[in-house]
Amino acid sequence: MKIPGSNGERATARRALTERLIAMATAGVGQWERTWRLIAPGRPFNAVSGHRYEGGNRVQLVLGTDWSSPGWLTERQVRDLGGHLLDVAPTVVEFWKRDDFWTRKQAHVFLDGKPVTVVAQDSRGITVRTVSAEERRVSAAEIESRLSVGVPDASGFSRRAITWAHAQDELSRMVCVNYHVYNLEQCAGIDERRLNRKLREACHGRNVSEDARREQVQIMIDAMRESGLKVVETPSNQPRYSVRSDTAYLPMQSQFKTMGGYVATVAHEIAHSTGAGHRLGRFVGALWGGESDVVESECLAERAREELVAEMAAAMICADLGVEYALTASAGYVGHWLAELKKSENAAYSAARDASAAADFVLGAMEQRMAQRLREAEAQEAVVVAAPPIMAADPAAEAFPSMGM
């Protein structure tokens, strides 16, 4: 499907995010002093509807701003909540929606050769209205044999007939709508009782003990092991993921100065593992198979992009877990990483889509693992409750031992 070009505002927002990521990556090599706050904990979401921002929007709101609240609002929502804006600088988020060809006048639809108007389409079929205002239902199995689409030629007069599937592919498109959103810290006077309950849950996740963090990491590791990943924890200075053996090699937790650094490293290497073919399938072709005929520059460029994906995904995972995180780039890949980002303002968003999918894969596996542990605990508790009480052999003697009965 055709995707129209970015407008000026969207391109500007993407360029600003790219420049910020480049600054972060450059600062992350060697000794540096952070000039911004650590990434705010909590996945960004709309503070009224609870809608979670994904893909490029997720990266834009997590990495592209300095606000510490995960809650965001439109200007209208701020007004509806009785509040006003303290800071009027918005953040641009993108929403893409499908623009079906049959909603436009240029395409003429025919049922068994007679003109009709499409009323609705769903997974089971299509509803059309004839010239006599009669509604008919065309099942999904009948669409290709009974429906055709007439498309004007370059002159705008004569029409050529194409199939429904061809029309969907050639004429339908994705349309982007930009929205301005504001962080809760940019607002004042809001009726907080009307905010989504996710905001309270997000704030609660920021104060977690070190033992709880350690348990989160173990759940992450156990969850991914269930998908076939091998995890090796050993004293080492080089965490890495092996595509060929599907193994994550991790240093010991005792080697890290902070628990946050440990969580971030585990999240980064496990994010790499989501690229395996039996997971999300980012690793394809000779490049990831280790063949010697792969051009070195191509290898470094593609691996640098994967490092960018893993770094973004780790930031998203840490944000969801409430762990502060500073985006960095390893010295070995930073040049190629920067080259990837500088290709265009769309490169960061392309990597962000893969990163968001990787983060969701890991977090989803963790949720399943935690749900499984809860079921096991409830089953064990039920067994204990159902067990009969242990009775004394002689109840009377047990009750009155001092009376010699």
Of 153, 171, 189, the residue at which a domain comes to its end is: 171
- pTM of the model as a whole: 0.65
154 and 127, same structural domain? yes
Of 149, 171, 193, the residue at which a domain comes to its end is: 171
Predicted pLDDT of residue 69 = 86
Predicted pLDDT of residue 157 = 53
* Integer CA distances (angstroms), 181 to 84, 88, 178, 220, in order: 13, 10, 10, 32
Residue 405 lies in a domain: no
Residue 354 lies in a domain: yes
Predicted pLDDT of residue 7 = 63
Tell me, rounded to whole angstroms, the distance of Cα 242 from its chain centroid.
23
Name the residue range of residue 140's domain.
101-171
Residue 159 lies in a domain: yes
Residue 401 lies in a domain: no
143 and 185, same structural domain? no
User: What are the structure tokens assigned to 229, written together?
Assistant: 């990943």
241 and 345, same structural domain? yes
107 and 245, same structural domain? no
Predicted pLDDT of residue 65 = 80
Q: How far apart are CA 18 and CA 341, in angstroms?
A: 6
User: What are the structure tokens assigned to 185, written together?
Assistant: 């810290």
* Integer CA distances (angstroms), 102 to 1, 107, 110, 145, 147, in order: 14, 6, 11, 17, 12
| Closest C-alpha among 204, 179, 192 to residue 47 | 192
90 and 106, same structural domain? no
Of 171, 197, 215, the residue at which a domain comes to its end is: 171
CA angle centred on 165, ends 160 and 169, rounded to 5°: 85
Instruction: Output the DSSP codes for 195-246.
Output: S-THHHHHHHTTS--HHHHHHHHHHHHHHHHTTT-EEEE-S-S--EEETTTT
54 and 74, same structural domain? yes
Residue 294 lies in a domain: yes
327 and 279, same structural domain? yes
Q: How many domains does the chain have?
A: 2
Predicted pLDDT of residue 210 = 83
Predicted pLDDT of residue 78 = 95
What is the SS3 assignment for 305? helix
343 and 297, same structural domain? yes
Low-confidence ranges of the chain (pLDDT < 70): 1-7, 24-41, 106, 152-159, 200-208, 285-298, 326-337, 384-405
Pairing of strands 247-250, 230-233: parallel
pLDDT more than 70, % of the chain = 76
Residue 90 lies in a domain: yes
For 30: left if phi > 0, alpha if psi spans -120 to 50, otherwise beta; the answer is left
Residue 33 lies in a domain: yes
86 and 222, same structural domain? yes
204 and 160, same structural domain? no
Residue 370 lies in a domain: no
289 and 339, same structural domain? yes
220 and 267, same structural domain? yes
